[in-house]
Amino acid sequence: MGHFAVIAPPLYSHFHALQALSQTLIARGHRITFVQQDDARLLLTDECIGFSTVGERSHPVGSLARVLQHLASPLSLWRVISDIAASTDMLCRELPARLTSLQVDGVIADQMEAAGGLVAEALHLPFVSVACALPVNREPGIPLAVMPFRFGQDEKSLQRFQASQDIYDRLMQRHGAVISHHAQRWGLPDRHSLHQCLSPLAQISQLVPAFDFPRQHLPSHFHAVGLLQASHPPRSASAPWPELRQPVVYASFGTLQGHRFRLFLHLAQACRNQQLSLVIAHCGGLDANQVQQLKRAGAAWVTDFLDQPAALQHAQLFITHAGLNSTLESLEWGTPMLALPLAFDQPGVASRIAWHGVGHRASRFSRVHQLEQHLQQLLTDDGYRLRISPIQAQLQRAGGCERAADIVEQALGQQRVVLAEAT
């Protein structure tokens, strides 16, 4: 059995998905060690998973909170880029010695952290790339994951995609310089972006083709496995759910954006006007006074955390920030969405929601009456649920953690290219 290191950004959604994959591998007899700054150990909840701390000087205990504050703010773009570059630099400096001392047999590298693939390549370790968010794989005619554009193949759309990619690359030059510096230091071919740090053996994605834009040039070792998550509990074992007036609308903006009080307030007012029961999960982002204000504004239930599968099972509509994990969960449960993208790859996910007709995309600055219009349309048109069905079916047969673990074992255990049609 093998010992595999997991290298990922210190973000809940990424650790959550990779923890689920790790648990499957551990059940098969493998050993897993996450390697990151010390604060990230709190993102793991399974004591069977190992954790090794790096970056004690540059990323000491308590420093992750500041990084997460930057990520949650729309005005902190340059700080976010600086934080990303600093994290990749730290990992590139410290991972070689740590992975050597841990005596790992291979690396499971999140696509969003270039250091995983770079260091594995430098150490001649086999590695698998995992896309917990939208894949960073580039392709002519497909907008970057962080871009809000609808799919199109007309000349204007193609020009827009290319121009936005050029702008993105200029914005990310600081991060690109870090990637290039360490690649040159180790004698690797020059590179400057995430998409150039992916595995030549196997690439795993949560995004299934039925919910993507129509790609033509994915590598032959790219595997769409659906959600990396622990198995759902039986429906009868779901957490207790309060008696609420129908229809029920569920709103959550994830672990980084739960502080969006004004947006929640507008949603509460819109749902009250439409006689809808709004359930809000703010993930600890609101204080007691704000919770009471939301209840007075019309929210039926406001809590910090809840069982999201249970919420999606009971809700007729999900109002989401369009994080990929939450979006795929909603599709798995057959629940249409109103997407209010806030950051990262959320604009790209929201564009796919709209393009596939499984929900609406709206601005986070929408006024109450505009939100009401979206709610009316989404709750009165059965077409949204019908269009979810083929995506739901593909997610349910994609294989999830078990298939992903098969791929990891073949790529890292046998050190061979794992072709998609072979799994």
User: What is the DSSP secondary-structure string of 247-301?
Assistant: SEEEEE-TTTSTT-HHHHHHHHHHHHHTT-EEEEE-TT-S-HHHHHHHHHHT-SE
Which positions of the chain have pLDDT values less than 50? 233-238
Q: What is the pTM of this model?
A: 0.93
202: CB partners within 8 A, 6+ apart: 128, 129, 221, 223, 407, 408, 410, 411, 417, 418
Q: What is the pLDDT of residue 260?
A: 85
- Contact (Cβ atoms closer than 8 angstroms) between residue 201 and residue 223: no
Q: Cα–Cα distances in Å, from 320 out to 178, 305, 310? A: 34, 15, 15
- For the record, the structure tokens of 179 come out as 């990637």
Q: What is the pLDDT of residue 373?
A: 97
Q: What is the pLDDT of residue 198?
A: 99
> Alpha helix locations (H) across 6-139?
12-27, 64-72, 77-102, 114-122
Q: What is the pLDDT of residue 254?
A: 84
Q: Which domains does the chain have, with CATH numbers?
A: 3-226+398-422 (3.40.50.2000), 235-396 (3.40.50.2000)
> Alpha helix locations (H) across 205-260?
none
- For the record, the structure tokens of 163 come out as 């121009």
Q: How far apart are CA 279 and CA 301, in angstroms?
A: 5
Q: How far apart are CA 418 and CA 262, in angstroms?
A: 48
pLDDT tens figures, 3-37:
999 999 999 999 999 999 999 999 999 999 999 99
